Chain A
Amino acid sequence: MIKLPEPVEDIVVNLLRLANTKLPADIGWALEAAAGWETGEIAYTQLGAIMDNVKKAEHIGRPMCQDTGIPVFYVRGRFDSGIASQIARGVERATREIPLRPNTVDPLTRENNGSNLGQGMPIIHYIPTDDDFTEITVLPKGAGSENMTRLAMLNPADGAEGVKRFIIDSVLDAGGRPCPPSIVGVGIGGTSDVCVEMAKEALLAPLDSENPDPVLQAMQEELFVALNSSGLGPMGLGGSTTVLGVRIKKAFCHTASLPVAVNIGCWATRRASARITDNGVEYAQGVEL
């Protein structure tokens, strides 16, 4: 077990503050590039309003979007089971201190206890490794984009063309609802649960990093061009910036299956990681899991 230089609870508050108030640099660059090629007046106004808002949020240290989402955590490296309760305390404190919007409710009674905790919360994915660090990543996921999630159990005969068709239809059918220009997270393969998990994990990688798999890299580029040629545009009001990036992960699957999942990230795909070693804590805003 790594000896932690500061309490996990404090690190989690820092992570949630960083993620919610400062847009990852790679997404900022993608927005700037988009503003450079957008020609439509409405589309350009939307991108301008987004970039203006990002600057202001960072400057005054407040959440860039009122939907501070449900924080999804990824813990990688060396850790012990006590980390879950420490993360929970961090979430509760961050909700009061930053503040975050209390979003978690009972799914049936819709009762909100105001803490962003509750049964099954916070959501934490564990990836134990032999590395000499503990890495905590948070992806605060807003509902506008999360509600557009789709899973298809395609037939193997549908092939790569079927996979691409499903991804394009999922993004375009969502229209303006997930706050485009979006980042499209895709999982291909695995079982249904793993497929959806991969689609979300894909959102964690910086947009300017190459996919380690050249076939997936090519597919990402092809889908990027196709989606930005669709005409959907920022906020679904028309234009040539529908997506800022497409990120794909894959895993082997059953010979009779071809699962595909799409998890859309809004333009404000907020992420932050803390890598904790004996030497201290290093923060970053994009990570390849």
Chain B
Amino acid sequence: MKVLNTPLSESDVRSLRLGETVFVSGPVITGRDEMHIRALEYDKNGEPVPDDIRGATLFHCGPIMRQMDDGSWRVIAAGPTTSARMNKLEPEMIERFGIRAIIGKGGMSPEVADAMRRCGCVYLAATGGAAISLAEGLNSCRGVEWLDLGMAEAMWRFDTQKFGPLVVAMDAEGNSLYQRVMDNLVRDI
């Protein structure tokens, strides 16, 4: 079992090979459409954004969370969301914040692949819908930012432990497993 310890360095991600299966341990943040929009807008306007966005391992996920009586949060279910929705926002996220790894499903556009190649970032595919198994790797929730965006769109912080399995589906050289599959599809009736 290959375990990647976050935060990841540029050389960590550049050493990963397409198709390889890995697990992640360490800090991970979640972010979807609204989190991307807000982070970029705040940063452009010189307003502060949470420190841990920089160099982050970013999980495209809107979890189901439950708040305990002591105010802490517990994860109920947390699988990946469709990454392609963030295609237009992600290149700038990678450039501005140095995102090192994105965990999601369905893959991302050639423009994102290009930003990953230039800046040193990889895309790790989690199994869509496997929200209970994946939640087991989200060891503990270390808090939440921007909860006003709603449970799904907020930025959650997790300490992960052997979170996965994840497939290196887009590497830091600009290669994409999804693109290879799509280029070779048989469309015969």
The residues of A with any CB-CB pair to B shorter than 8 Å are: 42, 45-46, 49-50, 52-53, 56-57, 60, 62-68, 99-103, 105, 110, 112, 114, 143-144, 147, 161, 164-165, 168-169, 172, 175-179, 222, 226, 229-233, 235-238, 266-268
Contact = CB atoms under 8 A, between A and B. Distances in A.
A183 to B, nearest CB: 13
B181 A232 contact: yes
A169 B187 contact: yes
B131 A53 contact: yes
Interface of B: 19, 21, 34, 61-64, 66, 76-79, 81-82, 84-85, 105-107, 125, 127-134, 136, 150-153, 165, 167, 169, 177-178, 180-182, 184-189
A168 B81 contact: no
B150 A176 contact: no
A266 B128 contact: yes
Contacts of A65: 77, 79, 128-129, 131
Contacts of A63: 64, 76-77, 131-132
Contacts of B19: 42
Contact of B82 (A99, A144, A232): A144
Instruction: Name A's interface SS.
Output: loop
Contacts of B187: 168-169, 172, 230
18 contacts: A49-B127, A57-B77, A57-B131, A62-B77, A64-B77, A65-B79, A68-B64, A102-B151, A105-B150, A114-B151, A144-B128, A169-B187, A179-B129, A222-B189, A231-B186, A235-B106, A236-B181, A237-B177
A164 B127 contact: no
B187 to A, nearest CB: 6
Nearest to A172: B185
Given A68-B64, A179-B105, A102 B150 contact: yes
Contacts of A267: 128-129
B181 A45 contact: no
Contacts of A177: 82, 84, 105-106
Nearest to A104: B150
B181 A101 contact: no
A49 B133 contact: yes
A52 B133 contact: yes
Top 6 nearest A-B pairs (CB, nearest first) are A179-B128, A112-B150, A49-B127, A53-B130, A176-B106, A66-B77
B49 to A, nearest CB: 20
B61 to A, nearest CB: 7
B63 A66 contact: yes
A45 B22 CA distance: 12
Contacts of B152: 101-103, 112
Contact of A64 (B66, B129, B169, B186): B129
Nearest to B127: A49
A53 B62 contact: no
